[in-house]
Structure 1
Amino acid sequence: MAVAHLTDTTAPAYSLRVGLFGAGRVAGQLGPALVAAGHAVAFVWSRHAATAGALAAALPGAAVLPGLEAPLPPADVYLLAVPDAAVAPVLAAVAWPTGAVVAHLAGALPLGIFEAQPEVLGGVLYPLQTFSAGRAVDWASVPLCVEAADAGALNMLLVLARSLSDDVRLLASADRLRLHVAAVFANNFTNHLLGVADALMTEAGLPAALLAPLVRETVAKALATGSPFTVQTGPAARRDVPTLGAHQAVLAAHPAWLGIYNQLTASIQEVLPPAPGPAGK
């Protein structure tokens, strides 16, 4: 089957039946996105029946799969939008139809996780985005990383991915794992550091909104350059020992945050050579 880019008006429309395992943050946004792209969600399963029912009720025609031991409704592709640790148990618990196309959505799990279920055609449909309740995601801009060993399964996942996103990439497991590590630094660790900053502002009786222009410019500048390392500023970069010491004194009451501060300072100085002369902020 030729793979068509579904945003191309000359391409035929594909409507796939999707079985959705999971009803959490990812599935809760993926389900409506699939329907909006013209696909049908055949069923929703979750270990929490209430959340499965709530999501299925929002998806026209979707049933609730009562349990993993229940017979599977027919679908063109089954998506495992469950926590990473649940992928293998779900795979093992379901009586998959022979030749079923089954894909997980995890960044760090290899394609090899499907080897224990030779009856399925395994694949990956990894959305590189953070998902939170109450925040809508623009799926057209979300990079979708696809992988499958079987050509038919790969084509099926490419059709599905291209109906959701304008940025679809073939990515092998090893590269996807490296991408996932980078994403943790860019998203999870950054979010934690922003949380520490917010807590310090609250502790000082200062409005956290004061930091908003700085955060926006920091991210914009980092994205505008080929390497964020080259636009690093601050006391660590300029090896401002008195300022570093003053900061460390403020953080003495928070040993864990002081440890992060010292480790990041050391990492910045390891990456950046000493400046030849006085540097600006």
Structure 2
Amino acid sequence: MRISFVGAGNVAWHLAQALENAGHHIVEIYSRDARNARRLVNKLYDTHIAPDLDFAESTAELLILAVADDALTDVVSRLVLPENCTVVHTSGTKSLAEFQQLIDIYSDIPAKTGVLYPLQTFSKDVELSLVDVPFCIESSEAVTEKMLIQLAQGISNVVYLMTSEERRLMHIGAVFACNFSNHLLAISKRILDAEHLEFDLLKPLIRETLRKALQSPDPALVQTGPARRGDHQTIETHLDYLERYPAWQGIYEVLSESIQRVR
């Protein structure tokens, strides 16, 4: 299949290379930052940088919009689609109906639409196999749905049909499981750095925490710590120290209260 990308961020970086390795031709890459487009194009075999969002003359059969949710409306409003092209987004929260409405409003050419959402955290400089990454697929048309399923199955063993609402809920869960937990690790490191202590000493603890959580049928069952024990004296000691970091003190309080409620 001939595929073009709008966006050259973390998702496009991994997805474009995986699709090319699966035998697809990545035709063009567009990015508002040409340097990002060039960096990705240099990783691909025969791909060109699109100078703008006018794809009218493109030979792409599929256009993947791998851009931030906040940028999607602006991108679609300036997008010129080629004939007989399917256009999909990779968002965890933008509904298919909203996306189709944007295409209907701004595009002079009718287009089939869909969602190709990889449920994973991506960083350009971190190698990642997509084989076990869940791909959430949605389309209102059977032909497009089948095409996206086959496309995803070519790079992943885990492919799900998922409604917009189900995908939105999965994304909320993903933010808690991934983004928030990583942010807490970042806070932990900054606290220890400020006191000239080694964050590396926590890594065995972090690994064991994640191992237990992933092996348990419910992570709440393996929750430990002062909040789980109801050790209020320790909690107060921690809060006293965190007075120098009011924002983090607030996070500590909210999470401690939540741990005591979730059983």
Deviation, structure 1 residue 70: 4.9
When structure 1 is superposed on structure 2, of 169-178 and 201-210 the one drifting more is 201-210
Any stretches of 5+ residues in structure 1 without a counterpart?
Answer: 1-15, 273-281
Corresponding position: 1:114 with 2:105: no
What CA distance in whole angstroms lies between the structure 2 residues aligned with 1:219 and 1:178?
Answer: 22
Secondary structure at 2:113 match in 1: strand
Amino acid at match of 1:117: I
Structure 2 partner of 1:76:
61
Taking the aligned partners of 1:70 and 1:168, their CA distance within structure 2 comes to: 29
Q: 2:100 corresponds to which letter in structure 1?
A: F
Partner of 1:237: 228
Determine the structure 2 residue equivalent to 1:183: 174
Give, in whole Å, the separation in 1 of the partners of 2:129 and 2:147: 22
Q: Normalised by the size of structure 2, how large is the TM-score?
A: 0.94
The question of 1:28 aligning with 2:13 is answered yes
1:149 aligns with 2:149: no
Q: Which moved more, 1:188-197 or 1:86-95?
A: 86-95
How many angstroms does 1:59 deviate by?
A: 1.3
Q: SS of the residue aligned with 2:8?
A: coil
State the Cα distance separating 1:58 from its structure 2 match: 2.3
Q: Are residues 186 and 178 of structure 1, via their aligned partners in 2, closer, same or farther at CA, if it must alter by over 3 Å?
A: same
How far the C-alpha of 1:165 sits from its partner, in A, is 0.5
Please state if 1:92 is matched with 2:77.
yes
Write 1 or 2 for the structure with the bigger share of helix: 2
- Quote the residue 2:88 is aligned against: 103
Asked whether the equivalents of residues 27 and 46 of structure 2 are also in contact (C-alpha less than 8 Å), the reply is yes
Distance 1:40 1:217 in 2: 42
* Matching residue's letter, 1:110: S
Compared CA separation, residues 245 and 91, structure 1 to 2 (3 A): same
Q: Note if contact 2:63-2:87 (Cα within 8 Å) is conserved in structure 1.
A: yes
Opposite residue 102 of structure 2, the aligned amino acid is: A
Q: Which residue of 1 aligns with 2:198?
A: 207
Q: Report the RMSD for the aligned CA atoms in angstroms.
A: 1.3
Structure 1 residue 99 displacement after superposition: 4.0
Match of 1:49 among 34, 43, 48: 34
How much does 1:172 deviate? Answer: 0.4
Q: Which runs of 5+ in 2 are unaligned?
A: 105-109
Alignment partner of 2:22 out of 32, 37, 60: 37
Q: Quote the Cα distance in structure 1 between the aligned partners of 2:130 and 2:193.
A: 34
Q: How many residues align?
A: 257
TM-score by length of 1: 0.88
Q: Could you tell me how far 1:98 is from its partner in structure 2? A: 4.6
Measure how far apart 1:189 and its partner are: 0.4
Secondary structure of the residue that 1:157 maps to in structure 2? Answer: helix
Describe the shift of the 1:226–1:83 C-alpha distance in structure 2 as closer, same or farther (beyond 3 A). same
Name whichever of 110-119 and 133-142 sits farther off.
110-119
Shift of 1:196: 0.9
Q: Which runs of 4+ in 1 moved over 3 A?
A: none
Cα distance in 2 for residues equivalent to 1:70 and 1:40: 16
Give, as a single letter, the amino acid of the residue that structure 2 aligns with 1:125: L
* Partner residue in 2 for 1:275: none
